[in-house]
Amino acid sequence: MGKWILLALVAGYGAWWFFHAGRQMDEDAIEAQYDVEARAIAELDADYLCDRMTDDFQHEAVTFTLGGTQRETYGKVQSCDELRESFRVFKRLNALTNGAMGMSVDNRIVEVTLSPDRKSAEVEAVAFVRMGGRLLSRSHGVDRVIRRNGRILHAESKSRTWVYVPME
């Protein structure tokens, strides 16, 4: 009889964690996750960043360049492919220039809006990407994040990015 009570308590706790506590988040946890992601970007770790996307992740991107405006919608696979390719290029440039063309990212959270049940949030952020000390791009985005099994994941992202050509 005691084993059944213990089993029921463990199952109850597991269900409570899976459906409730493991899915709630707060602003501090979101900010900490964004700090970890900023380090992953600095280390050009696409695998970590891709691991932080839900399987049904969607990214709506608008990019402004001197050549015009591009509008794209990516799923997780396409987003990860683009991320890996970009990081591959940055790693190659960094190696070819002995670090002189290193990339740096300054990511700042503007606002976090938690849902009433604290199981999702909208995060507004801006990012500045520099290469060799020069501003390469500026982005403004709004991400919808969720928490599953204690991990904060990106479910959706909408971004606008301005790409600049570094000039002497």
Mean pLDDT for the chain overall? 87
- The single-letter DSSP state of residue 124 is E
Predicted confidence (pLDDT) at residue 168 exceeds the cutoff of 50 = no
CATH number listed for the domain at residues 25-163: 3.10.450.50
The position carrying tokens 């740096």 is 104
Q: What is the pLDDT of residue 167?
A: 45
Predicted confidence (pLDDT) at residue 49 exceeds the cutoff of 90 = yes
Q: Which residue has the higher pLDDT, 47 or 22?
A: 47
Please state the domain extents for the chain. Answer: 25-163
- How many angstroms separate the CA atoms of 140 and 108, rounded? 10
- CA-based end-to-end distance of the chain: 79
**pLDDT of 55-72, one tens digit each?**
999 999 999 988 899 999
Q: What is the pLDDT of residue 42?
A: 84
Q: What is the pLDDT of residue 14?
A: 62
70 touches 44 (CB < 8 A) = no
Instruction: Give percent above pLDDT 90 in the chain.
Output: 56
Nearest C-alpha neighbor of 159 from the set 82, 62, 78, 76: 62
SS3 at position 162: strand
**Which residues, 6+ apart, have CB-to-CB distance to 74 below 8 Å?**
58, 59, 61, 82
Q: What is the pLDDT of residue 91?
A: 87
**pLDDT of 105-163, one tens digit each?**
888 999 999 999 989 999 999 999 888 788 889 999 999 999 988 899 999 999 999 99
Q: What is the pLDDT of residue 55?
A: 96
DSSP codes joined into one string, 64-115: EETTEEEEEEEEHHHHHHHHHHHHHHHHHHHHHTTTTT-EEEEEEEEEEEE-
Q: Given pLDDT bands bounded at 50, 70 and 90, which one contains residue 11?
A: low
Predicted confidence (pLDDT) at residue 99 exceeds the cutoff of 60 = yes
- How many angstroms separate the CA atoms of 57 and 159, rounded? 14
